[in-house]
Chains A and B, each alone.
Chain A
Amino acid sequence: MRSLLYVSTVAAMLIFSGCGSSEPTVDDSANANNQAEEINIVDENSDNSNMESTDLDGGSTTLESIEAKMSPIYFGFDQYKLTEEDIDTLHQNVEMVKNDTEAANIADKYSLKLEGNCDEWGSDEYNFALGLKRAQAVKSELINDGIVAEKITTVSYGSSNPVCTEKTQECWSKNRRVDFKILP
């Protein structure tokens, strides 16, 4: 009976030790053993290369100058709804294009791409969706302003396309944005 009591006590101790609230042990010791050996293979079969530079009729300099005049729309943390201030900025962008003859001509010929971006917080897949919702919010407001929906495309880069890489709140706020790009 005494041995049975002892076994029961040990079993109970094992159970309660399983409920302990102490943190898991973190062993960083393996760091020192990581031997990176990079093998760089140029992928010649890829048909994805050289696709970024496109020579447009309007001249890339002109397009870039118009893009530069359109202010990005900035968002709060984990937000994708436009504020009154955002809507004012959007209206200013639209007016700028309408009042500039050259910009208006280009706007007639080309499409507008809205690029949604996020800061580095949150998971990458969630950030891609968040960036898309931001781009969609801007698209909806532009449609309300009379822009033809078919001329607007949206894309999200999540946190993969930061304009600022410092670890500050000011920097992160610059990355929570929608950029305007003109496409042929």
Chain B
Amino acid sequence: MRAIFGVLFLSLLLWGSDATIEVRKGVDALPSIAVEDASVDYKKGLSKRFFRVMVSDLNVLSIFNVEREYVTADFNDKSVPTVHKKIDYIVRYQLREEKGVMVVKVNLFNNDKIIHKLTYRIKNPKQYVFLVHTIAASLNDFMGAEPADWIKEKVLISRTTGPGRSEILVTDYTLSYQFSVKRNGLNVFPKWADKSKKYFYYTYLSHGVPELRKYGIYDKSDKFIMKSDGMMVCSDVSDDGKKLLLTMAPHGQPDIYEYNVASKKKKRITKYSGIDVNGQYMADGKIAFISNRLGYPNVFSKKITGQATEQMVYVGKSNSACTAHNNYVIYKARESANAFSKNTFNLHLISTKTDFIRRLTVTGINEQPLFSRDGTTVLFVKKYKNQSSIGVIRLNQNKNYLFPLKGGAIQSIDW
């Protein structure tokens, strides 16, 4: 009997560490939380927007059942309002202006007692969204939950504004903050240059020959890197920012190249007469990429230094995009044989170590998946009924959230 139990327990541990297996938690088991606005003499519009983003963040953290009703309170009141007496946790915040700076104080209550205090100052109140995300990540850490630093990350999107026109925006994962940094012409495929997120690579297309350029969001530098007849896309940047995976076509043939940022030398990684695109760094010196070498787009892998390629996905009719994180790959797959059916494109998660496949989305066109740096969360683009949205998938919590873009369509994202 002990042996049986031991095997079962070991199986549970092994399976539990595989993100391809769905984890479904009972919603009722989560503690409840409510947010109270205790701002004094501050712009009501901003303090209410602060409330809404805070509620949204707490919801996305997926560790609470979040009350959505807007409630005000006195910041110095040592107890919680009657309406919140049965709520497990209360986040009470106060915005106030002090010598031209916005000061934000946060108290976290549990059982009518303050159990955690936070204070922040921000010079530019327009960036309040990132402050809310910082507070949410801090509360998440205080609760001892799985780290959620991804919530604070700046996101890049290329937004199509018309035929042959697009702009690049710096935003957050909810699209609440939007700052246009590149306009005029076709600016596509933005990719952060490194973890500092001060520079990004992008493709500029207006002269006819696609150019890879590097833009500084603070110093506004705009440096030409290289160009390639036909096509030039930065598909991925290595973790240390020293190497890039490019899809380019110096001789009219789209293949994957690795570019060394320091030496400025490029090395051809794939050599195929069809289409090889979307190179993504994986563990063990490998890349995942999309190729039509079977007659339709599918996911393959190969060693950067080797020649042999390996088919990674055996399910799906048209698997034309992928993202990789260590031994996990998420790919976009068409669900039906009909190229134009309404049962369109969904995202699937696979592990290179097991045979499991987990479907991550259920409706609409879901594409351009991107792992967070810690691999716990996935950002993607959803197109549904003529609207583009950013989607967030919490893999371990098995929850999806959507944040629609008002106007235009999302061409590409990075975070």
Contact = CB atoms under 8 A, between A and B. Distances in A.
Interface of A: 1, 4-5, 7-8, 11-12, 14-15, 17-20, 22-31, 33-43, 45-52, 77-78, 113, 121-126, 128-130, 132-133, 135-136, 139, 153-158, 160-163, 167, 169, 172, 181, 183
A154 B180 contact: no
B254 A123 contact: no
A14 B5 CA distance: 13
Nearest to B2: A4
Interface of B: 1-2, 4-5, 8-9, 11-12, 15-16, 21-24, 49, 52-53, 55-56, 59-60, 126, 129, 160, 163-164, 166, 174-189, 204-210, 220-222, 229-231, 233, 235, 247, 249, 252-254, 274-278, 290, 292, 296-297, 318, 320-321, 332, 339-340, 359-363, 367-368, 386, 389, 398-406, 411-412
Most-contacted residue by chain A among B8, B9, B23, B296 (CB, 10 A): B8
A123 B8 contact: no
Given A125-B321, A133-B275, A24 B183 contact: no
A153 to B, nearest CB: 6
A172 B340 CA distance: 10
Contact of A42 (B15, B179, B183, B403): B183
A75 B269 CA distance: 29
Contacts of A39: 126, 177-180
A49 B230 CA distance: 21
The 6 closest A-B pairs by CB, nearest first: A123-B321, A33-B56, A129-B254, A123-B320, A30-B401, A126-B320
A163 B163 CA distance: 7
29 contacts: A1-B1, A7-B5, A11-B8, A18-B15, A20-B22, A24-B361, A25-B24, A30-B59, A31-B389, A31-B404, A36-B175, A43-B180, A49-B184, A51-B184, A52-B206, A77-B339, A121-B339, A125-B235, A126-B290, A126-B320, A128-B247, A129-B231, A129-B277, A130-B275, A136-B230, A136-B252, A153-B209, A160-B164, A181-B208
Given A19-B21, A130-B275, A161-B186, 14 more contacts: A24-B398, A28-B401, A36-B176, A37-B129, A43-B180, A48-B182, A78-B292, A122-B318, A125-B247, A126-B278, A129-B254, A133-B274, A154-B229, A160-B188
A76 to B, nearest CB: 10
A124 B412 contact: yes
Contacts of A1: 1
A123 B178 contact: no
A1 B2 CA distance: 9
B176 A37 contact: yes
A27 B253 CA distance: 42
Given A8-B4, A11-B9, A24-B359, A48 B15 contact: no
B239 to A, nearest CB: 21
Contacts of A139: 252
Nearest to A23: B362
A92 to B, nearest CB: 24
A181 B249 CA distance: 20
A15 B340 contact: no
Contacts of A124: 188-189, 367-368, 411-412
A168 to B, nearest CB: 9
B230 A46 contact: no
Contacts of B183: 42-43, 46
Contacts of A5: 1
A69 B242 CA distance: 48
A91 B238 CA distance: 46
Contact of A122 (B209, B230, B320): B320
B297 A4 contact: no
Contacts of A154: 229-230, 252
A26 B361 CA distance: 8
A38 B296 contact: no
Most-contacted residue by chain B among A48, A121, A122, A123 (CB, 10 A): A123
A61 to B, nearest CB: 20
Nearest to B207: A51
A42 B182 CA distance: 8
Contacts of B179: 39, 41
A156 to B, nearest CB: 5
B296 A78 contact: yes
A42 B178 CA distance: 13
